[in-house]
């Protein structure tokens, strides 16, 4: 386990009050080692495996396909017939029988013979080539086709060409996708070993917060962060513990942090880390654990506390949990989740590195940007007639404007050193949607 001394060493080279985003990501990466409890695995059936992290390589127990078979509906024959016919433009073969998928042709056709064959049917003995039916004219039990239409070995799927027996079909750390479920089924595998789900506890802080179902009094707002966090965590496949709204007082916060640390691998709070609250929270944190940094040079998301808390009476005692104290503003919660928290949760879940998809796009309008911080603006990207992407912002970039996230389809990521962006300049975007 990393000690708090190593911890300070990796932070010391930076200003913890305004850490560049890359430095913050690197520190989080170093701290987000896979949990000891990753040794705990469970076997789940295919239907329950979607989105889970494979704990072991899956070795193919069979060749897929298990036998050479036809890739087309047509006629199977020996490619040697093509060599023999050199000089003549057409080839004539006698049809000796039919091979269906699941109903092979049992005999061996002769040199001047072929077999009517359907897609997926076992290649008859001695046959290595399939001429698609649309290239063939058939008269009675004879077919004729132009020799130029085909080369020996074409339209045959080779045994093991998809997956070879004894070779890894999927690697440990893989997050199981739709295609993987099909692939596992194609191997006849009914269940797989996956890591136990990472447990993440989260809560909101703020005297002004009301939960859905309560009545709003003057000056109060509904707590939206717990819902956004719940959804983002669910999508990552972790187990969630919702600890509700915590009032802005030391005793309530300490109780929530202790309970969360005792019950979860990772604790995420929102609110209470901005300038006004920082001192009180900071003092509490140092009594519960180590805090690596408080502020990141990013917008939205500048106040962000990251470190490790302990459930025992003092730091080092009891059980540790990684802690992310996210800002309260709803857009900041989402930006910091995707660019600071996400990778750590995946690594701790045992997943292989899953880089975000980054695409180049042309700014269709000027974008306001201040040098000295990374900005994650909300963008609407469209594909132009020439196939390139262009992007505009959603307008108001206030970190409380959650509707900007619903309106946008991407983050526009503007690097630390960059200033104002002119129309026509290239920028990087991270799309919200992935395909599978
Ligand atoms: P804070 O970081 O606690 O100073 O909060 C910054 C802003 O975010 C304030 O306007 C809060 O009312 C708002 N805020 C904090 N937590 C939440 C939440 N859970 N849901 C909606 N808004 C919040
Ligand atoms: Mg607050």
- Per-residue pLDDT tens digits for 253-285: 999 999 999 999 999 999 988 877 766 777 788
Query: How does residue 36 score in pLDDT terms, banded at 50, 70 and 90?
Result: low
Centroid of ligand 1 to alpha carbon of 421 (angstroms): 30
Q: Which of 136, 157, 178 is the last residue of a domain?
A: 157
Whether 267 is in a domain gets the answer: yes
Residue 274 Cβ < 6 Å to ligand 1: yes
CB 162 within 8 A of CB 64: yes
Please provide the average confidence, as pLDDT, over all residues in the chain: 93
Centroid of ligand 1 to alpha carbon of 177 (angstroms): 35
- Looking at residue 285, what is its pLDDT? 83
Whether 316 is in a domain gets the answer: yes
Does one domain contain both 209 and 298?
A: yes
CA distances from 282 to 17, 24, 125, 206, 278 (A): 13, 18, 77, 16, 6
- Looking at residue 259, what is its pLDDT? 96
Measured from the alpha carbon of residue 275, the closest ligand is: 1
Residue 221 Cβ < 6 Å to ligand 1: yes
Whether 353 is in a domain gets the answer: no
Q: What is the mean pLDDT of residues 2-15?
A: 56
Residue 194 Cβ < 6 Å to ligand 1: no
Who surrounds ion ligand 2 at CB < 5 A? Answer: 206, 271-272, 328
Whether 232 is in a domain gets the answer: yes
Query: How does residue 87 score in pLDDT terms, banded at 50, 70 and 90?
Result: confident
Measured from the alpha carbon of residue 248, the closest ligand is: 2
**Is the pLDDT reported for residue 397 higher than 90?**
no
- Looking at residue 40, what is its pLDDT? 86
What CATH number has the domain bearing residue 368?
Answer: 2.40.340.10
Q: Given ligand 1 and candidates 231, 328, 398, which is best to mutate, with the most ligand atoms within 8 Å of its CB?
A: 328
Does one domain contain both 368 and 393?
A: yes
DSSP state at residue 53: B
Judged by average pLDDT, the poorest of 35-49, 168-182, 220-234, 306-320 is 35-49
CA distances from 188 to 66, 185, 192 (A): 12, 5, 11
Query: How does residue 130 score in pLDDT terms, banded at 50, 70 and 90?
Result: very high
Residue 413's region, left for phi above 0, alpha for psi from -120 to 50, else beta, is beta
Whether 373 is in a domain gets the answer: yes
**Is the pLDDT reported for residue 11 higher than 80?**
no
Q: Which residues are within 8 A (CB) of 376 and not within 5 positions of it... i.e. 6 or more apart?
A: 298, 299, 300, 301, 335, 339, 411, 412, 413, 414
Query: How does residue 228 score in pLDDT terms, banded at 50, 70 and 90?
Result: very high
Residue 204 Cβ < 6 Å to ligand 1: yes
**Is the pLDDT reported for residue 3 higher than 50?**
no
Whether 245 is in a domain gets the answer: yes
Does one domain contain both 44 and 75?
A: no
DSSP state at residue 118: -
Whether 222 is in a domain gets the answer: yes
Whether 436 is in a domain gets the answer: no
**Ligand 1 atom closest to the CA of 332, numbered from 1:** 8
Does one domain contain both 405 and 285?
A: no
**Is the pLDDT reported for residue 240 higher than 80?**
yes
Instruction: Please report which helix (H) or strand (E) contains residue 410, including its range.
Output: strand 410-414
Does one domain contain both 231 and 344?
A: yes
- Looking at residue 4, what is its pLDDT? 47
- Looking at residue 85, what is its pLDDT? 80
Does one domain contain both 100 and 241?
A: no
Measured from the alpha carbon of residue 244, the closest ligand is: 1
Distance CA 386, CA 100 (A): 46
- Greater confidence (2 vs 348) lies with 348
Q: Which residues are within 8 A (CB) of 268 and not within 5 positions of it... i.e. 6 or more apart?
A: 200, 201, 202, 229, 323, 324, 326, 341
Does one domain contain both 239 and 339?
A: yes
CA atoms lying within 13 Å on the CB side of residue 92: 4
Centroid of ligand 1 to alpha carbon of 206 (angstroms): 7
**Is the pLDDT reported for residue 86 higher than 90?**
no
- Looking at residue 281, what is its pLDDT? 77
Range of the domain at 176: 40-64+166-195
- Looking at residue 84, what is its pLDDT? 85
Q: Which residues are within 8 A (CB) of 283 and not within 5 positions of it... i.e. 6 or more apart?
A: none
Q: What is the mean pLDDT of residues 419-423?
A: 98
- In tens, the pLDDT along 332-353 reads 999 999 999 999 999 999 999 9
Centroid of ligand 1 to alpha carbon of 329 (angstroms): 5
Centroid of ligand 1 to alpha carbon of 330 (angstroms): 7
**Is the pLDDT reported for residue 166 higher than 70?**
yes
CB 294 within 8 A of CB 262: no
Query: How does residue 5 score in pLDDT terms, banded at 50, 70 and 90?
Result: very low
Distance CA 119, CA 130 (A): 10
> Residue 204's Cα: distance from chain center in Å?
26
CB 319 within 8 A of CB 262: yes
Does one domain contain both 190 and 202?
A: no
- % of the chain surpassing 90 pLDDT: 83
Does one domain contain both 315 and 219?
A: yes
Centroid of ligand 1 to alpha carbon of 242 (angstroms): 17
**Is the pLDDT reported for residue 75 higher than 60?**
yes
- Greater confidence (36 vs 42) lies with 42
Count of domains in the chain?
Answer: 4
Write the DSSP string, 307-371: EEEESSSSTTSS-EEEEEEE-SSHHHHHHHIIIIIHHHHHHHTTPPP-PPP-EEEEESS-B---T
Is the alpha carbon torsion for 353, 354, 356, 360 positive or negative? positive
Does one domain contain both 191 and 226?
A: no
What CATH number has the domain bearing residue 179?
Answer: 3.90.105.10
Q: How many helices (H) and strands (E) does the chain have?
A: 11, 26
What CATH number has the domain bearing residue 343?
Answer: 3.40.980.10
């Amino acid at each position: 386990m990393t000690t708090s001394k190593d911890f300070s060493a990796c932070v010391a080279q930076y200003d913890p009050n305004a850490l560049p985003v890359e430095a913050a990501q690197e520190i989080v990466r170093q701290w987000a080692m896979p949990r000891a409890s990753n040794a705990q695995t469970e076997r789940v059936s295919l239907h329950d495996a979607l989105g889970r992290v494979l704990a072991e390589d899956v070795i193919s127990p069979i060749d897929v396909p298990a036998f050479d078979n036809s890739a087309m509906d047509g006629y199977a024959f020996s490619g040697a017939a093509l060599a023999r016919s050199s000089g003549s433009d057409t080839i004539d073969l006698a049809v000796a029988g039919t091979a269906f998928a699941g109903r092979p042709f049992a005999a061996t056709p002769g040199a001047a013979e072929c077999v009517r064959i359907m897609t997926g049917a076992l290649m008859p003995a001695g046959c290595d080539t399939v001429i698609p039916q649309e290239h063939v004219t058939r008269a009675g039990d004879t077919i004729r086709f132009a020799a130029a239409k085909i080369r020996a070995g074409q339209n045959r799927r080779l045994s093991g060409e998809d997956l070879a027996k004894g070779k890894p079909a999927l690697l440990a750390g893989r997050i199981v996708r739709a295609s993987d479920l099909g692939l596992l089924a194609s191997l006849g595998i009914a269940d797989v070993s996956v890591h136990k789900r990472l447990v993440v506890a989260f809560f909101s802080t703020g005297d002004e917060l009301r939960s859905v179902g309560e009545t709003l009094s003057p000056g109060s707002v509904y707590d939206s962060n717990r819902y956004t966090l719940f959804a983002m965590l669910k999508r990552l496949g972790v187990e969630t513990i919702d600890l509700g709204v915590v009032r802005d007082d030391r005793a309530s916060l300490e109780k929530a942090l202790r309970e969360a640390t005792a019950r979860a691998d990772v604790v995420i709070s929102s609110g209470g880390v901005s300038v006004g609250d920082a001192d009180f929270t900071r003092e509490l944190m140092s009594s519960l654990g180590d805090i690596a940094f408080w502020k990141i040079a990013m917008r939205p998301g500048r106040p962000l506390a990251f470190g490790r808390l302990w459930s025992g009476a003092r730091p080092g005692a009891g059980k540790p949990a990684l802690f992310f104290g996210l800002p309260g503003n709803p857009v900041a919660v989402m930006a910091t989740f995707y660019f600071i928290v996400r990778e750590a949760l995946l690594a701790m879940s045992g997943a292989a590195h899953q880089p975000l998809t980054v695409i180049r796009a042309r700014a269709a309008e000027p974008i306001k940007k201040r040098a000295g911080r990374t900005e994650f603006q909300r963008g609407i990207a469209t594909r132009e007639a020439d196939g390139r992407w262009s992007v505009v912002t959603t307008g108001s970039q206030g970190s409380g404007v959650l509707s900007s996230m619903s309106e946008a389809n991407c983050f526009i990521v503007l690097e630390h050193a960059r200033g104002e962006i002119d129309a026509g300049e290239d920028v990087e975007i991270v799309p919200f949607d992935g395909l599978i």
